Amino acid sequence: MAINNWPIEDRPREKLIKYGEHALSNSELLAIILRTGRSGQSALDLARAILAVFGSFRRIGRADLCHWNKIKGLGNAKISQIKAAIEIARRFSEEKLKEKRVKIKSSEDIIAILMPRMQDLTKEIFKVLFLDSQNRIIAIAEIEEGSVDQAKPIIREVYQKALQKQASFIICVHNHPSGSPRPSRQDRQFTRALVTAGESLSIKCLDHIIIGNGRYFSFSDQGIIR
């Protein structure tokens, strides 16, 4: 039966308005994003089918488009809606911490902010946290050159932004889509060049963190950056 034919109190949208989003199941939340199902299948049925395949929102966010072929009734529009909603949730979490001007005390503070989003990305991205003299976050920026193989352009852009934001310190973070946070030879070379460039500008690089799947590597924690 189509959702429009259900009792009003059972429909996901009406239920959300009356009781709040926290009262809805994962399937009901996903059904609202989907809006419609397919012939013989309601949006809620389709949402349940998606969760049955992937198991969690985290796995949905990590899935490549080829994995969606297992589910009938999904076109690019619906897939885009789902992935956009998940990305909004990731960015909301990150922005909330920036607004609080969180003070960074250790690599664990960075991981709490960025790992939920970065550990599931299927391509490498590079982020920089700009800190004031008291180690509070001024801003978090994503550098377009998403690989340390492009070291010189990244380093130049990092410190240009640091000067613009009047940052005293920076912390750089990138992910390894392979899941292993072990630094490569390029990662180590890049880190040395990054620290040296900062010294000439009196902007200290406090750490370079590599995020894998549930694990991370901190150059500072390992004593490579002092």
88-118 pLDDT, tens digit per residue, is: 877 776 666 566 667 899 999 999 888 887 8
| Residue 226 is assigned to a structural domain of this protein | no
Domain match, 59 and 121 both? no
Domain match, 105 and 192 both? yes
Select from 71, 92, 113 the last residue of a domain.
Answer: 92
Containing domain of residue 58, as a range?
3-92
Structure confidence by residue, pLDDT tens digits, 204-225: 999 999 999 989 999 999 999 9
Structure confidence by residue, pLDDT tens digits, 142-171: 886 556 665 566 888 899 999 999 999 999
Domain match, 164 and 120 both? yes
Domain match, 32 and 114 both? no
Select from 75, 92, 109 the last residue of a domain.
Answer: 92
Q: Are strands 216-218 and 137-143 parallel, antiparallel or unpaired?
A: unpaired
Higher local confidence (pLDDT), 77 or 10: 77
The CATH number that applies at residue 200 is 3.40.140.10
Contact 128, 170 (CB under 8 A): yes
Domain match, 109 and 63 both? no
Domain match, 106 and 76 both? no
